[in-house]
Amino acid sequence: MLHIDEGRLHAYLDGELSERERTAIEEHLSICDDCQAAYEAAAALSQRASALTSELEPGSLNVPSWREIEERAVARRGEVRRRSWIRPSMAWAASIAIAFGLGWFSNSYWLRFPTSFESPSGPAATALPATRGQTAAEAVVDERLSEESGTPHEREAFREVKEAEEQNRKNETGAGRATARQLSQDELQVANEDRIQVPTAALKADRDEAAPVERSRTKAQPADAVAAPREVAAPPEAVLPAEAEAPTEMIIRPAEQPAANRAARPLIAAEGARPDAAVVGALKTEARTFADSETPGTPSSFFAVSSDAATMWLGVELRTLPELTLRNVEVGPGGTIGGGQRGLPVVRLTYEDAAGQIITLTQQRLDRDSDSGEDEPVLEMDPSGPNSYRWADGAYRMSLTGVISSDSLRALAARVR
Amino acid sequence: MDLSQVYREHYRSLVRFLYRRIGDLARAEDLAQEAFVRALEHQPAKPRAWLFTVAANLARDEGRRAAVRRRHLTLIKAEAQALPPEPGPEVALVRREEVRRVQAALSRLTGRDREALLLWEEGFSYDEIAEVLGLSRGSMGTTLARARTRLVAAYEELESQGSDEDVAH
């Protein structure tokens, strides 16, 4: 007869067998001495093992309350949530920040200009001088080359133009010049229509007809959207040739522009992968001059710029309030500063003080020859709004505005550097 | 079952299981509390078996990290904590020696055998032990028989070695 194996004996001792198995084992133990001995040995072994393990008794325990355990679990859930929260929230924050940034740039640099194309003063022609004997594009390209800027495609295009020009000079005949320029004109006419439509439309537009102006405005927007914002944000002096005394003198009338020269401008757009930002910037600069017919050369409304660009707009060194936190720099029309001169841009610096109060410092270059504004400081108090303190100071007309006391305004004015 | 009730009924058992498993009472308490915190997060259907499964896993991780060196250190610490109020220097010495031998004997078992034995000592059924350790229920009697045999044999061997050392001294 088969004996009971050790595993089954331990299971029997541990009470882990079914009723039927237990009965079978008990029947066998009653008739098998060997298995009975094995059973007794297994029982002793089990008791001994339990006794040995019971030697390892932990003694007194530190038993935290159940509330403590729950608080730990809650704290851990919070940590996990925060960890899982951070990435998407950061991603959202970054997306929103980028969207606002793009919107800010768009608003600051682009949306100011389309109204200028509706100006009754005429279409947006070119802002480059006719007296130089160059086309507008050549003038811009010259400037670009002198700075060794532009893409390789653009530099190559410039070289081609210059070579053709050199050849024309050697020929010393009008017919030769026309022949030499014809090819590039034909080649680039398609690109002219596709890529930079602002100049094309503008050059063809009749200054006295409103309909062409409207068309040029419609087409101008896509070209605007791809140009570099910084170049447009620069003041006229940053884009235009130095000899341009005033923006109004830089206009080339379409009728005065040689046909061969008109082809030179799109050359850059055709060769390069992107439109010539300098050209677009020049056109926009000119467009700004028409935006405010009473104040040519100044923007029609405020738009944000860098501090460096603001200095260039101002024409003198930018004055600041170094003790406050600078939030924004804008350039705007001359009439927005009390006693200011129309026709000269103003720069408005927006500051935030330690208490979170917004204070604006507006400044304009003081043109003593034509300025008729007051020299004495003026304090304007508005019980329901911001107070304003303005003064003329050396080469500047300054204005400080904020919802702060007149004494604070005067004290701040003394801290302008 | 309400976890707070499980905590009241089985916290001490879980600490003891861990203490016997790793030999460090303070660490055993930490791991037991950790198991309950995790139980609150997971809300297991069978909390007792789940808690001991997690505790066994935590103990295994603990063992892998600490290895032999800490075992010796914690043995000393555990002995001091495990002892009842000292009846006298000689009795205390004997108790300490017994604890050390049991710990050493347990350490000679395989991990599965040791855990099965300790779970049984904590009142687990074969089904529960099989569930916690991932073993078949049919092999449980054999596993426990082997674990008990080896534990007792190892202890007696260590005890005889100790007697020989005493004689030698």
Nearest to A49 among B29, B117, B140 (CB): B117
Contacts of residue B64, defined as CB under 8 A and 6 or more positions apart, other chains included, come to none
Nearest to B105 among A52, A57, A64 (CB): A52
Here the tokens at position A31 are: 């008739």
- Contact yes or no for A55 and B142 at CB 8 A: no
Count, residues in chain B: 169
Q: What is the DSSP letter of A397?
A: E
Instruction: Decide the pairing of beta strands A378-380 and A325-332.
Output: unpaired
C-alpha to C-alpha distance for A142 and B108, rounded to whole angstroms: 90
**Of B38, B44, B37, B6, the residue nearest A71 (C-alpha):** B37
Is residue A283 within 8 A of residue A204, CB to CB? The reply is no
Count H helices, E strands: chain B?
Answer: 7, 0
Here the tokens at position A8 are: 């089954």
C-alpha to C-alpha distance for A239 and A278, rounded to whole angstroms: 7
The answer, for A102 touching chain B at a CB cutoff of 8 Å, is no
Is residue A315 within 8 A of residue A331, CB to CB? The reply is no
- Contact yes or no for A49 and B106 at CB 8 A: no
- Contact yes or no for A58 and B81 at CB 8 A: yes
**A/B interface, count of CB pairs below 8 Å:** 110
Contacts of residue A233, defined as CB under 8 A and 6 or more positions apart, other chains included, come to A108, A109, A303, A304, A305, A306, A309
Nearest to A16 among B23, B28, B141 (CB): B141
Largest CA distance in chain B: 57
Chain A residues with beta carbon closer than 8 angstroms to that of B81: 58-59
The three-state secondary structure class of A400 is: strand
C-alpha to C-alpha distance for B100 and B154, rounded to whole angstroms: 12
Nearest chain A Cα distance for residue B99, angstroms: 6
pLDDT at position B76 is 52
Residue with tokens 């026709």: A343
User: What does pTM read for this prediction?
Assistant: 0.41
pLDDT mean values, one per 10 residues, chain A (417 residues): 87 93 92 92 93 88 89 79 58 75 65 45 40 44 44 52 58 46 44 40 40 39 40 42 38 40 38 43 42 54 84 85 86 79 85 82 80 69 77 84 81 84
pLDDT at position A285 is 44
- For B107, B131, B139, the CA distances from A53, given in Å and listed in that order, are 12, 22, 22
Q: DSSP labels for A208-260?
A: T-HHHHHHHHHHHHHHHHHS-HHHHHS-HHHHS-TT--SGGGG-B-GGGS-HH
pLDDT at position A248 is 35
CB atoms within 10 A of CB A281: 25
Chain B residues with beta carbon closer than 8 angstroms to that of A53: 20, 102, 106, 117-118, 121, 151
Nearest to B15 among A6, A46, A58 (CB): A58
C-alpha to C-alpha distance for A221 and A213, rounded to whole angstroms: 13
- Contact yes or no for A45 and B149 at CB 8 A: yes
C-alpha to C-alpha distance for A333 and A328, rounded to whole angstroms: 16
Rounded to two decimals, the ipTM of the complex is: 0.80
pLDDT at position A402 is 85
The answer, for B15 touching chain A at a CB cutoff of 8 Å, is yes
pLDDT at position A199 is 39
Is residue A145 within 8 A of residue A131, CB to CB? The reply is no
Nearest chain B Cα distance for residue A321, angstroms: 56
A109 burial (CB, 10 Å; 0-12 / 13-18 / 19+) is buried
Here the tokens at position A301 are: 């409304």
* CA-only gyration radius of chain B, Å: 17
Is residue B131 within 8 A of residue A28, CB to CB? The reply is no
Nearest to A59 among B81, B121, B152 (CB): B81
pLDDT in tens, B38-74: 999 888 998 999 999 999 888 888 766 665 455 555 5
Phi-psi region of A268 (alpha: psi -120 to 50; beta: other; left: phi over 0): alpha
* CA-only gyration radius of chain A, Å: 42
pLDDT mean values, one per 10 residues, chain B (169 residues): 88 93 89 93 90 90 63 53 57 80 93 93 91 91 96 92 63
The three-state secondary structure class of B47 is: helix
